[in-house]
Amino acid sequence: MVSQSPGETPVASADDSAKLSSFNRWFSITARGSSASREVRGGLVTFFTMAYILALNPLIIGTAVDSRGELVSGAPKYLDAAHQVVDQAAVGHSIAMVAAATALVAGLMTILMGIVGRFPIGLAAGLGLNAMIAYVIAPTTTWPRAMGMIAVEGIIITALVLTGFREAVFRAVPNELRVAISVGIGLFVTFVGLVDAHVITPGSGTPVQLGLNGSLSTWPVLIFVIGLLVLLFLYVRKKRGSMLIAIIATTVLAMIVQAVVKVPATLSDGTTNPAGWALNVPSWPGLAAFKLPDLGLLGRVDIIGAFANGEGHFTAASILTTVMLVFSLLLADFFDTVGTVVAVGSEGQLLNSEGEPPRLREILLVDSIAALAGGLASTSSNTSYIESTAGVAEGARTGFASVVTGLAFLLAVFLSPLTNMVPAEAVAPVLVLVGFLMMQQVSEINWNHLVDAIPAFFTIVFMPFAYSITAGIGAGFVIFVLLKVFQGKARHVHALMWVVSALFVIYFGQGVITKWIAGT
């Protein structure tokens, strides 16, 4: 290599240029104005902003029980018939199994996205979808059957990609709504960051409040504030790697504070400490925490049994109930991904003149396969992560960044205690800044054209207020179609917008429909 100034992209010698050219062409690194170092930085930032799922998914999936009182591992959770005494060893083993499977599937699917989709998006178990499986579906059936529903959803959504339907829906979305989706996700990501850092908490008498009892006075929140200031300082000074540097620096500071102050995770009565760390406690785990992973959850799925009731019998009610649950999972997964792809593409300026990313079908196909893989591995549906926008903001533009993210997840299969050292308070500042970057697109919406502006407004506000990307997209779609009807321009609405809006009406009314099916 020839010498280069600091920050300059290394120049390959003539001897290795041939090797680099095929790699470069495959990922379009130069074509997208990027470099290998930027992709590595972006990929690592995406991993760190997603890594919380390695702790959260096991806590959700690994501790919940099915209708038989069994954990996802197949072991009983309780030692007594009254379900009062928890088998802590069984729960701990279940959590470890889910953690290993979560990291494995996330790693493989994200690498597949990088190689096939060649787009800078990370995939992992979807937050929200996993809670629905753990707390709504599993208690009414068995874990293998619950995961069978995820597999069914993955099969259906994969078929929709192969038939071209998913692409067609993507293309049917008006440009103003696409911009609104990206802006709304920006607000959503910022809100997630503030909630994760406990800057915004549930209020007493109000839906939310500032910090703990209206004050930002806890050590973890102080760490977040310092991390945010460090990030803003680096970012406005245009320092390369500002987000990755801020995450690492804030984590180190958090570990020092924890070593000195020792912020307890729980209070003396066993309840969670409201002044404690939001998720991960930033401390060295010790060598005893590193163990070979148990991948016994792979393949523990019953696809056919997903349509049976809790006793294993196939009835009209059980089949209809499964259809409605799969529909809910499908719609949420379908449009969360649409929003994520639009947001990542907009942030990285990777969309063409028609608002589409390159290799759209391949991106959607990998995302669909990930949903199926999540069911087969008992980790819940895997989906594209909006936190990928953080990596794009750091410089990621190609699938090579996804390969880096995926490799980090595969390392986490064996080194998950290290990833758990990074507290949510160290990652949250990045999410807040990414929200600001995505908000800048709001100027592209013509606020004087009411039929476009009103649906855009509802799309934007519903995402953070309902804490759901899917809810925001659905609200925007339905209102857009209705306003066109009010204008007398119903025939100007794309046929697929009618179909999707009707599906969203069913989605929003699924509670009533489910009760009607059950006869209650």
Q: In angstroms, rounded to a whole number, what is the distance separating the alpha carbons of residues 41 and 234?
A: 15
Question: Which spans in 276-353 are helix H?
Answer: 316-347
Q: In angstroms, rounded to a whole number, what is the distance separating the alpha carbons of residues 408 and 418?
A: 11
Q: In angstroms, rounded to a whole number, what is the distance separating the alpha carbons of residues 109 and 121?
A: 10
The pLDDT of residue 22 is 87
The pLDDT of residue 182 is 86
Q: Say if pTM beats, i.e. exceeds, 0.85.
A: no
The pLDDT of residue 16 is 47
Tens-digit pLDDT profile for residues 35-83: 999 999 999 999 999 988 988 898 889 989 998 899 999 999 888 777 7
**CA distances in angstroms from 444 to 151, 432, 433, listed in the order given:** 39, 21, 20
The pLDDT of residue 19 is 54
Tens-digit pLDDT profile for residues 110-160: 999 999 999 999 999 987 788 888 888 898 899 999 999 999 999 999 999
Cβ–Cβ < 8 Å for 434, 189? yes
Q: In angstroms, rounded to a whole number, what is the distance separating the alpha carbons of residues 513 and 520?
A: 10
Angle at 49 between CA 241 and CA 356, to 5 degrees: 85
Looking at the DSSP assignment, which residues form a beta bridge with residue 208?
A: 202
Q: What is the chain's mean pLDDT, rounded?
A: 87
Where do the DSSP E strands lie in 28-79? Answer: none
Residue showing tokens 């095929």? 22
Looking at the DSSP assignment, which residues form a beta bridge with residue 202?
A: 208
The pLDDT of residue 8 is 38
Q: In angstroms, rounded to a whole number, what is the distance separating the alpha carbons of residues 207 and 9?
A: 49
The pLDDT of residue 520 is 59
CB contact set of 208 (below 8 Å; sequence gap of 6+): 200, 201, 202
Q: What is the CA radius of gyration of the chain?
A: 23
Q: Treating both helix axes as pointing N-terminal to C-terminal, what angle do 424-439 and 242-261 enclose, rounded to 10 degrees?
A: 150
**CA distances in angstroms from 489 to 278, 483, 484, 499, listed in the order given:** 49, 9, 5, 16
The DSSP secondary-structure symbol of 8 reads: P
Q: Which residues of the chain have pLDDT under 70?
A: 1-20, 266-270, 288-289, 310, 514, 517-520
The pLDDT of residue 3 is 35
User: 3-state DSSP call for residue 467?
Assistant: coil
Neighbours of 136 (CB within 10 A): 12
Of 80, 77, 68, 79, nearest in space to 95 by CA:
77
Give the N- to C-terminal CA distance of the chain in Å, as an integer. 73
